[in-house]
Chain A
Amino acid sequence: MMEGRPYKFRILEILDTQGPMWNSDIVRQLQNEYGMPSDYYRDCLNFDLIEVAASGMICESEAMIDEDGSFRKDSLLLKYKITQLGVDLLNELRTKVTQRKGE
């Protein structure tokens, strides 16, 4: 439902429907969906995740270091899960989003 809508809407939906995920996987999925393949956009989308986590809608559940460089060599990888606040916000968004053809 949130595909093609603002990034933060989609971040909440991905974590709600697919369960806890590593930031590298969420960012990769968003890059594919929104057609933003560059490293610059990878970092921009990762920063969106950081903002959503700071706001309390998602939270970190695990951490590890990216030793094989699949995301960014030696950087911190974080596993995020959606919080109850995030679920509430997502449910509110689902009722308020502008309907598209076929929805």
Chain B
Amino acid sequence: MELNPCLKHKLLRKTVREFAEGVLGPIAAEIDHEARFPWEAVEKMRALQYFGLQAPLDLGGAGLDTISYAVVVEELSRVSAGVGLCVSVHNSVALYPLLRFGNSEQIKRLAPDLCSGKRIGAFCLTEANAGSDASGVETMAVALRPVGGQDYLINGTKIFVTNGGVCGLALIFAVTEPGANQRAASVFLVESERPGFQVGEIEELAGMRCNPVSSLFLEDCRVPAANLLGRPGDGLKIGLTALDTGRLGIAAQALGLAQGALEAALRYAKERQQFGRAIAGFQTIQNYLADMATEVEAGRLLLYRACSLKDAGRPFTVEAAMAKLFCSRVAREVTNLAVQIHGGCGYSKEYEVERLYRDAKVTEIYEGTSEIQRLVIARGLLSQPGGRPVSS
């Protein structure tokens, strides 16, 4: 069992850290404050293959393994979690399901633009009455029989769409058979330039503010049957598969946030003088720092283990849910302690931990709330004889 990073992952981490600190570092606070999507950084990331992390080299991707994917998202999120979010969602729940479930024509037509980042991907499951309960999807896709079922007409509203304001390709979950249950939900690949596809207002959110999270409106949006991903009714299967991988990305994002907060707290504790000495000299602060570092390290091992299972082609659903559940809690707690160590300064926008604290909370909510992760884990436990997950 190899628990140390190999040279490739080490070099990759250095590469992404250098880029993140050099390009995202100087603008991270500003793009949060102004809720601005950093096109200037994204332009550079496109050329460096951040939008095709695990796609094959011949499609213009970087051909990386899943641990590498986690390392990239972690290192981006350590500096700007909103940018890490954009990359994670694009790669894991837009590009990945296309490569996994798309036919060769769809991959040839749509994957290169996703890999190059020319089109940024979005995943649209959540609606006003659907989220944790995927069966509540109300967006409808009606086959246009007069033209031989060649096209679908989609109507509905999607909410809280990550990358919504900048997406070039959206995976739209829609019910194809009126009155049918969730199993009849299908996934459509919808290019943003199609008539009837409209981006709603950008949400004013507490964190991840540089990511243009928005509603998407589909109003008589006509989509050819060639854009149906998988078969009609494959929606749930595609969604759950995509979310398994997405959870690895969100766990990595949470880990990056926690790592950034830990480092900021360490720096501040060594600088801040009280009672004639650096506060790092006080046992209370040392205990905080020790707990923070231990939690981050534990989360990292849990995450990389889940990633390595996926790379080995083994089931990883339970482990991905565990990693997401654990890392998102670690992110919330570690950023909280980092603010505490900073005292009043930690509550000020002058210091980065204020942003990290705001960013961290949502990792316990999106791509499956912590409650849903527990449900997934428990389901895995209870379905196994002896109550052990498959991989143990």
Q: Do A and B bind each other?
A: no
Q: Interface residues, chain A, CB within 8 Å of chain B?
A: none
